[in-house]
Structure 1
Amino acid sequence: MASSQVDSINAKKDGGIRHSGEKKPCPVHAPGSGDVKRGFRKSRNNDYVKISMKEAEVNRLPAEWWKTLLLFFYITFSMVLTTVVITAVHEKVPPKEEIPPLPDTFFEYIDRVKWAFTVTEVNGIVLVTVWLLQLFFFQHKSIVLRRYFFIAGTLYLYRCVTIYITTLPVPGMHMNCAPKLYGDFYGKFWRVLNLISGAGMSMTNTTIMCGDFLYSGHTMVLTLTYLFIKEYSPRSFWWYHLMCWLLSAVGVVCILVAREHYSVDVVVAYYITTRLFWFYHSLTTQCQCSPNNYLTKTWWNPLFNFMERNVKKPVPREYGWPKSWAPACLKNPCKKYSMVQSTRDE
């Protein structure tokens, strides 16, 4: 009799009468009861309630290639508009015989080297090739690609404004600008196509167009490509960063040595490129809802919100073979190892 009374008392303590062999039910947490610590409600038995999350909430870095395609059209439009503006500004450049080059402090101490600009363009080709190879093995290439497209496209739009509102004379007497076409619309159209096909490089033997000096497009590409290479590569690859920095720095210096741009063109290009890159990536790491975040006042902030809406965490520096290209043995290298481990454990 005494033992049955003890059993009934224990059953009441456990939350109700239980038949022998039944498992103890999970504890129910009433609101306002229990121990609360750091936002988690703690039960008597140190159990936590498991909250199931949707797959979309867990995957915080969706590829969204359709956004990347839209940004590709954006940078294409910016580059085509730049070539159109360059063709229009070329008609306004004064002849070098009437208005000589402006005084430049760098030109006063360094003599011109003819082959220096070829070094700039070769360095640019090498740097862009290295960036594309790095991007091929990058796991989140879609996100980084649309960031590159947006920043580069915006820089080209800025360049359209600066070269159109102020036309500078040629920086050196060695420059032989193409003849002016004035009202020849058909000839200007073919010049635009010629610039696009030659990627704006002199080594492609395209027509030399003058007037697109402030600011330097070559400096912009060299600087921006290096910044992306360093940002999305492992921090321990210091030798890799140093090599890319040397390619970029030597290319920028050779622009001045070749006297293809004024010093102010290079300085302004470096300043605008680095600030736009740092502003954009600062927004990816800061709370945009804060009233003290003045970076959200930029005109391109709505476009930024469109691109980064579903990127809920910093992009990790993860590399590997693309799943659609990798051999079967490289897609999941740890699968066989886990099978061997489970066999040994059994």
Structure 2
Amino acid sequence: MRKVSDWTGEDVVHWLGDQGLQEYCDSLGSLSGRALLGLSQSDFASPPLSLVTSDGGKQLLECVQTLRIQNHIRAHQDGPNGHAPNGTAAPGVSVNGDAGHAPATLHHGVSNGNGPPKPKTLPAQRNGIRDGPLLANGFGADLRQEGDAWIRIPLPAPGASSPSSLRPPLPEEWGRTGVALAYALTCFVLTSVMISVVHERVPPKEDTPPLPDKFFDWFDRKEWAFLVCEVIGLGLVASWLILWALHKHRSIVGRRFFFIIGTLYLYRCVTMYITTLPVPGLHFRCAPKMMAGGGLTITGSHHMCGDYLYSGHTVLLTLSYLFIKEYSPRRMWWFHCVCWLLCGVGLFCILLAHDHYSIDVVVAYYVTTQLFWLYHTMANQQVLKAPSQNNFVSRVWWYGFFLYLEAHVQSPLPRLYQLPPSLRRLMARGQARYSRLADSQCP
């Protein structure tokens, strides 16, 4: 393996891929190995590196620091000329490539008076100490003195790896995504049932008028506002689905979305059931109460009441924007601004239509953003995936399900995109194919 200082841009790109940092390939693909080792925090304060990720290059700098240490170790092992002199062990600890135990060769030896001293071979010591100071990985070469013993400690052969390291850092695992989808669908069905149950308990608006709301005092109701909200919601959801379909790691992104939206609607079931609010406006025409609690007919469309605390429309608007911003390229900042503006207009239209109390929208926004940020913080920090006494996030009730979905995801997801496999196969099928004729067949 070449020294890092001799790497070309292609070697740098290959190393970034091995570290799961493919998002830096475009920005750092032209760097040499020496320039890669010289990266510092100040390089991430300005474009183009400042536009790649939001962590200020922390993860990449940690990997570069590890690479510097490895390069330093290799330089000490190989000696000043890049290789061990005369095939002997370089100063410090050297690797002989054998997976098993090997005898330790001491550079001072015993002479019988008939020639130069011969190396004296003694069994290797587990702690790397034999008649001299402890030297580890080539460090401490300055501590070498006359008569010190130098130990050759065998390490695993290059290329040897444990079964756990054979797993890619970002496995697709579509089976886990299917489980998350089933969880989300179950929560949606439970929400529909709960709306029917709550509908039966809503007090008549003639007996219990709408609760006071400051927003309703400031703005009169507009009938068209809720239609605008739903059009904006459909646009944001469609944009998010297109982005999700084009993301390279769509399986991991999908199960995150399914889990979060399913959990949000599960929380909504609880809040709707424990507190039933009166209708927020006299304009509501609730469907008649039905004995079975359905409130719906096959041929008719009836308005269900009671699903106020908290707003499901706010959940969809906010969650779509958060996923679009998180998983779309940083350079599309203008698109993020447009989605943020549309989300804000949609939330305002919900209140302008007087279809939800202000508290419904506020609670929905808070719960959605907090769950999204908490989940992604846990997913991107490997230390939070290990339950411990000091890991307080491991005490949330869904932590076990989280580990099932994220245990094998070993790094933050890079922003890489590609066409879905089915579409790629379809496009490849439509391309013309040519075969080369043998020379003997040519006239």
TM over 0.5: yes
Which of 257, 270, 279 pairs up with 1:170?
Answer: 279
> CA-to-partner distance for each residue in 1:94-141, whole Å, 9 max, x for gaps?
111111111001111111110000011111111110011101110000
Q: Which amino acid aligns with 2:262?
A: G
Aligned-pair CA distance for 1:323: 3.3
Which of 224, 233, 243 pairs up with 2:338?
Answer: 243
User: Does the alignment pair 1:191 with 2:296?
Assistant: yes
3-state secondary structure, aligned to 1:284: helix
3-state secondary structure, aligned to 2:137: strand
Q: How does 1:128-167 map to 2 (within 5 A)?
A: 128-167=237-276
Task: Find the counterpart in structure 1 of residue 317 from structure 2.
Answer: 222
User: Does the alignment pair 1:260 with 2:355?
Assistant: yes
User: Does the alignment pair 1:300 with 2:405?
Assistant: no
In the aligned structure 2, how far is the partner of 1:237 from the partner of 1:255? 28
In the aligned structure 2, how far is the partner of 1:318 from the partner of 1:189? 45
**Unpaired segments of 5 or more residues in structure 2?**
1-85, 89-94, 105-125, 130-134, 140-149, 430-443
User: Does the alignment pair 1:208 with 2:317?
Assistant: no
Return closer, same or farther for 1:192/1:136 CA change in 2, 3 Å cut-off.
farther
Instruction: Kindly report the root-mean-square deviation, in angstroms, between the aligned alpha carbons of the 2 structures.
Output: 2.9
User: Does the alignment pair 1:125 with 2:234?
Assistant: yes
Return closer, same or farther for 1:238/1:167 CA change in 2, 3 Å cut-off.
same
Equivalent residue pairs, number: 291
In the aligned structure 1, how far is the partner of 2:354 from the partner of 2:365? 17
**Unpaired segments of 5 or more residues in structure 1?**
1-12, 16-24, 195-204, 332-346
Quick one: percent identity of the two aligned structures? 49
3-state secondary structure, aligned to 1:209: coil
User: Does the alignment pair 1:36 with 2:137?
Assistant: yes
User: Does the alignment pair 1:67 with 2:168?
Assistant: no
Q: Which amino acid aligns with 1:278?
A: W
Task: Find the counterpart in structure 2 of residue 199 from structure 1.
Answer: none
Contact 2:196 2:295 in 1 (8 A): no
Q: Which amino acid aligns with 1:112?
A: R
In the aligned structure 2, how far is the partner of 1:111 from the partner of 1:212? 22
In the aligned structure 2, how far is the partner of 1:162 from the partner of 1:108? 25
TM-score normalised by L of structure 2 = 0.61
> CA-to-partner distance for each residue in 1:177-203, whole Å, 9 max, x for gaps?
11111x2x2xx4472978xxxxxxxxx
Return closer, same or farther for 1:77/1:58 CA change in 2, 3 Å cut-off.
closer
Aligned-pair CA distance for 1:272: 0.5
In the aligned structure 1, how far is the partner of 2:357 from the partner of 2:333? 32
In the aligned structure 2, how far is the partner of 1:330 from the partner of 1:233? 26
Return closer, same or farther for 1:78/1:14 CA change in 2, 3 Å cut-off.
closer
Which of 380, 387, 391 pairs up with 1:285?
Answer: 380
Aligned-pair CA distance for 1:57: 2.9
Aligned-pair CA distance for 1:58: 5.0
Return closer, same or farther for 1:149/1:314 CA change in 2, 3 Å cut-off.
same
Return closer, same or farther for 1:52/1:142 CA change in 2, 3 Å cut-off.
same
Return closer, same or farther for 1:269/1:328 CA change in 2, 3 Å cut-off.
closer
> CA-to-partner distance for each residue in 1:20-72, whole Å, 9 max, x for gaps?
xxxxx96778562765268xxx999xx99634336963511111111111111
Return closer, same or farther for 1:248/1:192 CA change in 2, 3 Å cut-off.
farther
Which of 105, 108, 120 pairs up with 2:217?
Answer: 108
Task: Find the counterpart in structure 2 of residue 202 from structure 1.
Answer: none
Return closer, same or farther for 1:36/1:104 CA change in 2, 3 Å cut-off.
same
Return closer, same or farther for 1:35/1:94 CA change in 2, 3 Å cut-off.
closer
Which of 209, 213, 233 pairs up with 2:328?
Answer: 233
In the aligned structure 2, how far is the partner of 1:209 from the partner of 1:48? 67
3-state secondary structure, aligned to 1:36: coil
Contact 1:79 1:153 in 2 (8 A): yes
Return closer, same or farther for 1:73/1:328 CA change in 2, 3 Å cut-off.
closer
